[in-house]
């Protein structure tokens, strides 16, 4: 039995409107979730359902109002102490990479932050470009010279270069063309086989999520209303909201 | 059924850094009165160029090199600025991908609706129009600025504007791509219902095959600036006869069985520098033979649709009923 | 070599497609060159009294005429260009550094930092530049340092607002989040990711601040709170000339026209830079 890499216990996130006091609203309510090494958990729901907020909690960017996040069996602590252990791949391929940096420099950055020496960094950057199916030629290019699918490959390379234990994919394939989407989804699955990271795949697209995930959690108004193996979502899931999402796939 | 839109041998070139590229390479398309036609294809296939050429809504670097576009009897290629304006205003309605950028952020919806309708419409007339687009509280919507509306509501406002002058043709460019999955279907239903009430035709530009299969009577598949396969949606999507159509379906998540691997289309769409002398899909095609690299395939009828492929019969026979087979 | 070529190409394009901006750039370049080379140009000594008759109209010997002390006005205007540009550039550079720093802090950290920086900028913004000018001049005495201080104080709030808002939008982009998750320090994020991406907006704002700076400098000098005689700035020349407006209008006209040209050319160049940075605004349905 593999270890949970991320373990969320009774997470509540409350947003307050205004500077002091103001109206409070629970974006995430009593969420319990755990993600194992080598496992992908899909998180689906509409915008405003709290899935992005939950993703930020898993990345340590947002401290939950209540509850605790454990990472690799220990309390999460500070993001800076966890550097190299987790990463993220985001939507909007045109803004996922700093347009002023060459792709190689973007991928290099997590290693610089980790304090890896220059020689080693150069080797690892070259190797990871190879792993995501981009040749040497891409290291010196700027993001503006790349297609959406290529930019997303560079984003994945940047996320993987430190060989983290956990990666969040937030709408990572939503902006891509169908054929490119399939390439990137296959790449994510192959890389997971190779590196064994745990993953949270956040998307409003149930079809892509079902394809790439082992388990799927359905979020509705801040709560997880269903958490089941992906196979359930090829048949009839339990919760009425899940069934409604499924109807879009018929 | 007479044709509302006739596009013949259309060639559109783009001037850019590094020379001229072809967006359309001899595209042919007709849209019948009252029908819904979907145009599908990857980015760069030419689907947006052909869709927008109907109203000649093209970027400044685009140039029509050859061909004719006839919309409701008007020759769009030869029309002067005033004729074009009239055509767009009175006979075409546009629905764009992102309603938030299509609406003016500095203006209340009421004023934007007045502009779309033209003249001096009464508040009631605006409210009726918004209600037809299934906005339940038109008074509140009229008072709102675009940022105060949800994406779905904003798109319904855009739809209300598009049908305001009872157009003969609605051009919808990825109308639900920016919306949540849970409301896409309802917005498409609204759009379809309003099209029917107006007796208008509709052209949907989309890469969502599932949406297309449900809402379009016919589908045109674009590749390399040409329509490579066109026919009834059910016919084309259930039993594709062009290898590219087949590959698009095989690449889309949603039709696979648990554990089955998607087949991405390898390589990238071509960048055409001039007229393609061969089959533009040949470098990526699994069915390709030597002949494909030397002769440009012309559209021909195969199994109840038009296909531009030398080996369409073979492809149709090999694919069988893929939509059902994969979901079944 | 290739840089020179691409600059030449850009200039050529500008000349063909946007004559007005090209004209602005040409005038600005000319003024800056004149200002820089002023002391070495064979125009005569700007401070030499009784170089000619008093309040003489323009002639070949004195192209801009002479003032009430018989000083040739052309070298004085050139010195004025030099002083006005120099003071504005120094002040606006201070503004750019201070304003970008606080604007980035506010936009990146948000929350309490933003609250304090934004309120501070609002308070500064609430005082008209002239009131600030009187206050500073009263405390520090009139002169160049006061003028620089007043221009900076007047333009910093504008700068903070613009930098803050562009920082807010850049800070929400994916590459910033990815860098945060990788454990980057705020310093790294601001210098590597945010600054290079807001530089365009900063440069545009710089040109606007520059024209505001020149107006403020002239106003202060006109009121006698800026550059002190015998040194000249465009503002002090206007003040000096205005006393003889009816008998020697060429004094006010020459200084005023040069000042207007300077401000207009700076604004035109600013607009051109903005257009180059946001080329696609409002182009969809043409």
Encoded tokens for A79: 């993001």
Interface touch C188/A88, C-beta < 8 Å: no
Interface touch A245/B181, C-beta < 8 Å: yes
- pLDDT for residue A86 is more than 90: yes
Tell me which chain B residue has its CA closest to the CA of residue C281: B101
- Any idea what DSSP says for residue A10? E
Residue A21's pLDDT band, with cuts at 50, 70 and 90, is: low
- Percent of chain C predicted with pLDDT > 90: 19
Most confident of A214-223, C2-11, C22-31, C216-225: A214-223
Strands (E), B17-128: 19-32, 36-40, 62-71, 74-75, 92-95
B323 to chain C, closest Cα gap in Å: 36
Virtual CA dihedral for A237, A240, A246, A248, nearest 10 degrees? 170
What is the rounded CA–CA span in Å between residue A25 and residue A173?
A: 30
Tell me which chain A residue has its CA closest to the CA of residue B152: A47
Length of chain B as a residue count: 328
Phi, psi for residue B220 in degrees, rounded to 5: -115, 125
What is the rounded CA–CA span in Å between residue A32 and residue B235?
A: 46
Its ipTM equals 0.89
Residue C140 maps to a domain: yes
- Regions in chain B scoring below 70 on pLDDT: 1, 17-18, 320-328
Nearest CB to C193: which of A79, A96, A98?
A98
Q: What is the mean pLDDT of residues A119-143?
A: 90
Please report the DSSP string for B41-69 in residue order. --TTSSHHHHHHHTTT---TTEEEEEEEE
Q: What is the mean pLDDT of residues C214-222?
A: 86
Nearest CB to A181: which of B180, B253, B266?
B253
Strand, coil or helix: what is B245?
A: helix
- pLDDT for residue C1 is more than 50: no
Residue B253: how many CA atoms within 13 Å on its side-chain side? 24
Is the CB of residue C285 less than 8 Å away from at least one CB of chain B? yes
- pLDDT for residue A169 is more than 90: yes
Q: What is the mean pLDDT of residues A179-186?
A: 88
User: In this structure, are residues B219 and B40 in contact, taking their beta carbons and an 8 Å threshold?
Assistant: yes
Strand, coil or helix: what is B313?
A: helix
- pLDDT for residue A94 is more than 50: yes
The predicted pLDDT at position C281 comes to: 40
Q: Phi-psi bin for C66: left (phi > 0), alpha (psi -120 to 50), beta?
A: beta
* Pairing assessment for the beta strands B201-205 and B3-16 based on DSSP bridges: unpaired
Is the CB of residue A99 less than 8 Å away from at least one CB of chain C? yes
Does the domain at B3-238 match CATH 3.40.50.300? Answer given as yes
Chain A residue numbers with beta carbons less than 8 Å from the beta carbon of B151 are: 47
- For chain A, positions 2-31, list CB contacts with chain C under 8 A: 19
Residue C224 maps to a domain: yes
Residue C21 maps to a domain: no
Residue C87 maps to a domain: yes
Strand, coil or helix: what is A235?
A: coil
Q: What is the mean pLDDT of residues C38-52?
A: 74
Tell me which chain B residue has its CA closest to the CA of residue C280: B59
Provide the mean pLDDT of chain C: 83
Interface touch A231/B251, C-beta < 8 Å: no
Residue C13 maps to a domain: no
Per-residue pLDDT reduced to its tens digit, B14-35: 887 667 888 999 999 999 999 9
The residue segments making up the domain with residue C271 are 28-277
Interface touch A178/B207, C-beta < 8 Å: yes
Nearest CB to A46: which of B180, B257, B258?
B180
A partners (3+ CB pairs within 8 A) are: B, C
Total of domains in chain C: 1
C283 to chain B, closest Cα gap in Å: 8
B312 to chain C, closest Cα gap in Å: 39
Domain map (residue ranges) of chain A: 93-163
**Scanning the structure block, which residue is given the tokens 């015998």?**
C230
- pLDDT for residue A158 is more than 50: yes
Would you say the C-alpha torsion A236, A239, A244, A245 has a positive or negative sign?
negative
Q: Which of B77, B85, B1, B74 is CA-nearest to residue B37?
A: B1
Residue C128 maps to a domain: yes
Tell me which chain A residue has its CA closest to the CA of residue C188: A113
What is the rounded CA–CA span in Å between residue B15 and residue B239?
A: 38
Interface touch A60/C182, C-beta < 8 Å: no
Interface touch B60/C285, C-beta < 8 Å: no
Q: Which residues of B touch A (CB under 8 A)?
A: 42-43, 151, 180-185, 207, 209-210, 247-248, 251-254, 256-258, 261-266, 268
The predicted pLDDT at position B2 comes to: 72
C285 to chain B, closest Cα gap in Å: 6
What is the rounded CA–CA span in Å between residue A8 and residue A69?
A: 5
Q: Which of C191, C159, C160 is CA-nearest to residue C176?
A: C191
Helix C144-171 vs helix C111-126: crossing angle, to nearest 10:
140
The predicted pLDDT at position C16 comes to: 73
Domain map (residue ranges) of chain B: 3-238, 239-255+277-328
Residue C3's pLDDT band, with cuts at 50, 70 and 90, is: low
Q: What is the mean pLDDT of residues C52-81?
A: 80
- pLDDT for residue C286 is more than 60: no
Q: What is the mean pLDDT of residues A115-141?
A: 91
Which of A95, A114, A146, A200 is the best mutation test for C, with the most CBs of C within 10 A? A95
CATH code (residue C138) = 1.10.3720.10
**Scanning the structure block, which residue is given the tokens 């393609």?**
B276
- pLDDT for residue A28 is more than 70: yes
B78 to chain A, closest Cα gap in Å: 34
Interface touch B256/A211, C-beta < 8 Å: yes
- Any idea what DSSP says for residue A97? S
Q: What is the mean pLDDT of residues A43-71?
A: 90
Strand, coil or helix: what is B248?
A: helix
What is the rounded CA–CA span in Å between residue A195 and residue A132?
A: 12
Q: Which 3-state string (H, E, C) describes chain C? A: CHHHHHHHHHHHHHHHHCHHHHHHHHHHHHHHHHHHHHHHCCCCCCCCCCCCCCCCCCCCCCCCCECCCCCEHHHHHHHHHHHHHHHHHHHHHHHHHHHHHHHHHHHHHCHHHHHHHHHHHHHHHHCCHHHHHHHHHHHHCCCHHHHHHHHHHHHHHHHHHHHHHHHHHHHCCHHHHHHHHCCCCHHHHHHHHHHHHHHHHHHHHHHHHHHHHHHHHHHHHHCCCCCCCCCCCHHHHHHHHHCCCCCCHHHHHHHHHHHHHHHHHHHHHHHHHHHHHCCCCCCCCC
Per-residue pLDDT reduced to its tens digit, C133-187: 778 878 888 888 888 988 898 889 888 989 999 999 899 888 999 999 999 999 9
B partners (3+ CB pairs within 8 A) are: A, C
pTM of the predicted protein model: 0.80
The predicted pLDDT at position C218 comes to: 85
Chain C residue numbers with beta carbons less than 8 Å from the beta carbon of B161 are: none
What is the rounded CA–CA span in Å between residue B243 and residue B287?
A: 7
Chain B residue numbers with beta carbons less than 8 Å from the beta carbon of C286 are: 60
Higher-pLDDT residue of A2 and C164 is C164
Per-residue pLDDT reduced to its tens digit, C245-282: 888 888 888 888 999 999 999 988 888 877 776 544 43
Tell me which chain A residue has its CA closest to the CA of residue B247: A179
């Amino acid at each position: 039995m593999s270890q949970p890499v991320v373990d969320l216990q009774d997470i509540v996130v409350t947003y307050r409107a205004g500077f002091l006091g103001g109206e409070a609203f629970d974006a995430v309510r009593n969420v319990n979730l755990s993600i194992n090494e080598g496992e992908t958990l899909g998180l689906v729901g509409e915008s405003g359902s709290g899935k992005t907020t939950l993703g930020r909690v898993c990345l340590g960017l947002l401290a939950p109002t209540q509850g605790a996040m454990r990472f690799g069996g220990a309390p999460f602590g500070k993001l800076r102490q966890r550097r190299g252990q987790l990463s993220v791949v985001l939507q909007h391929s045109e803004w996922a990479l700093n347009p002023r940096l060459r792709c190689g420099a973007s991928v290099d950055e997590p290693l610089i932050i980790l304090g890896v020496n220059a020689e080693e960094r150069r080797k690892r950057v070259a190797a990871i470009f190879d792993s995501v199916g981009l040749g040497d030629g891409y290291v010196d290019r700027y993001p503006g010279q790349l297609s959406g699918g290529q930019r997303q490959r560079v984003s994945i390379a940047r996320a993987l270069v430190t060989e983290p234990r956990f990666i969040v994919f937030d709408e990572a394939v939503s902006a891509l063309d169908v054929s490119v989407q399939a390439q990137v989804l296959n790449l994510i699955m192959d890389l997971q086989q190779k590196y064994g990271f745990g993953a949270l795949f956040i998307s409003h697209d149930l079809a892509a999520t079902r394809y790439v995930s082992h388990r799927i959690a359905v979020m509705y108004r801040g709560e997880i209303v269903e958490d089941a193996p992906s196979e359930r979502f090829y048949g009839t899931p339990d919760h009425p909201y899940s069934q409604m999402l499924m109807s879009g796939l018929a | 059924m007479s044709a509302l839109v006739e596009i013949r041998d259309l060639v559109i070139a783009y001037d850019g850094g590094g020379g001229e590229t072809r967006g359309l390479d001899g595209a042919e398309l007709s849209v019948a009165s009252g029908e819904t036609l979907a145009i599908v294809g990857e980015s760069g296939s030419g689907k947006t160029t052909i869709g927008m050429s109907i109203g000649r809504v093209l970027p400044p670097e685009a140039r029509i090199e050859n061909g004719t576009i006839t919309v409701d009897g008007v020759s769009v290629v030869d029309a002067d600025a005033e004729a074009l304006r009239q055509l767009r205003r009175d006979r075409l309605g546009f629905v764009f991908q992102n309603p938030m950028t299509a609406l003016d952020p500095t203006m209340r919806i009421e004023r934007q609706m007045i502009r779309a309708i033209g003249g001096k419409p009464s508040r009631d007339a605006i409210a009726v129009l918004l209600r037809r687009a299934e906005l339940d509280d038109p008074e509140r919507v009229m008072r709102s600025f675009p940022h105060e509306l949800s994406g779905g509501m904003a798109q319904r406002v855009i739809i209300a504007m598009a049908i305001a002058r009872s157009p003969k043709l609605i051009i919808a460019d990825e109308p639900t791509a920016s919306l949540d999955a849970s409301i896409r279907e309802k917005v498409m239903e609204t759009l379809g219902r309003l099209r029917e009430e107006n007796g208008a035709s509709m052209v949907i530009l989309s890469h969502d095959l599932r949406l297309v299969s449900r809402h379009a009577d016919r589908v045109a598949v674009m590749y390399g600036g040409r329509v490579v396969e066109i026919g009834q949606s059910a016919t084309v999507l259930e039993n594709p006869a062009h290898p590219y159509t087949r590959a698009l379906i095989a690449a889309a998540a949603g039709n696979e069985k648990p554990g089955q691997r998607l087949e991405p289309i390898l390589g990238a769409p071509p960048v055409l520098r001039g007229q393609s002398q061969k089959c533009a899909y040949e470098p990526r095609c699994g069915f390709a033979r030597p002949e494909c690299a030397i002769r440009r395939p012309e559209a021909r009828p195969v199994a109840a649709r038009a296909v531009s492929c030398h080996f369409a019969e073979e492809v149709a026979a090999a694919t069988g009923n893929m939509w059902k087979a994969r979901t079944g | 070599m290739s840089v020179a070529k691409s600059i030449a190409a850009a200039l050529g394009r500008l000349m063909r497609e946007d004559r007005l901006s090209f004209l602005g750039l040409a005038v600005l370049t000319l003024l800056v060159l004149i200002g820089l080379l002023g002391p070495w140009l064979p125009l005569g000594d700007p401070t030499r009294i009784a170089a000619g008759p008093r309040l003489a109209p323009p002639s070949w010997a004195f192209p801009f005429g002479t003032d009430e002390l018989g000083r040739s006005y052309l070298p004085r205007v050139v010195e004025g260009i030099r002083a006005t540009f120099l003071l504005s550039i120094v002040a606006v550079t201070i503004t750019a550094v201070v304003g970008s720093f606080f604007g980035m802090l506010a936009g990146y950290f948000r929350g309490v930092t933003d609250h304090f920086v934004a309120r501070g900028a609002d308070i500064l913004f609430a005082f008209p530049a002239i009131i600030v000018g009187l206050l500073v001049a009263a405390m520090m005495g009139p002169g160049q340092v006061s003028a620089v201080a007043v221009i900076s104080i007047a333009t910093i709030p504008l700068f903070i607002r613009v930098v803050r808002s562009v920082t807010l939008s850049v800070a929400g982009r994916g590459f910033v989040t990815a860098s945060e998750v990788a454990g980057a320090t705020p310093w790294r994020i601001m210098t590597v990711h945010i600054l290079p991406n807001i530089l365009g907006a900063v440069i545009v704002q710089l040109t606007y601040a520059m024209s505001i700076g020149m107006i403020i400098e002239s106003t202060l000098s006109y009121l006698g709170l800026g550059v002190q005689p015998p040194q000249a700035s465009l503002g002090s020349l206007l003040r000096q000339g205005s006393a003889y407006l009816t008998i020697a209008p060429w004094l006010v006209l020459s200084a005023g026209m040069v000042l207007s040209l300077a401000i207009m050319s700076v604004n035109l160049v600013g607009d051109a830079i903005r257009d180059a940075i946001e080329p696609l605004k409002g182009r969809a349905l043409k």
